[in-house]
Amino acid sequence: MAKASKSEKVVKPNVFMRIGLFIKQIIDELRKVVTPTAKELLGWAVAGLIFVLLLMALVTVMDFGLGKATLWMFG
């Protein structure tokens, strides 16, 4: 393998050029974003609401059950 000579130095662009490139890349990525249709948005909102309600029910049942178990053991 040949070693790279010290005279071949990689030059980085200055800080303002790097910031400009970063902002340009952000804008390019944001152009790829597609907003959901109303039907898709409603579907995901309903799915999220159902998930939250199921978790609330699970936590409520666990709280009630563990409370009863604690009273039975120590009460």
Model confidence pTM above 0.85: no
pLDDT of residue 9: 81
pLDDT of residue 3: 64
What is the Cα 47 distance to its own chain's centre?
18
Report the C-alpha gap between 30 and 22 in whole angstroms: 12
Q: How far is CA 31 from CA 22, 26, 28, 35, in A?
A: 15, 9, 5, 11
| H/E element, 53 | helix 38-74
Report the C-alpha gap between 5 and 69 in whole angstroms: 74
Interval 21-74: pLDDT, tens: 999 999 999 999 999 999 999 999 999 999 999 999 999 999 999 999 999 999
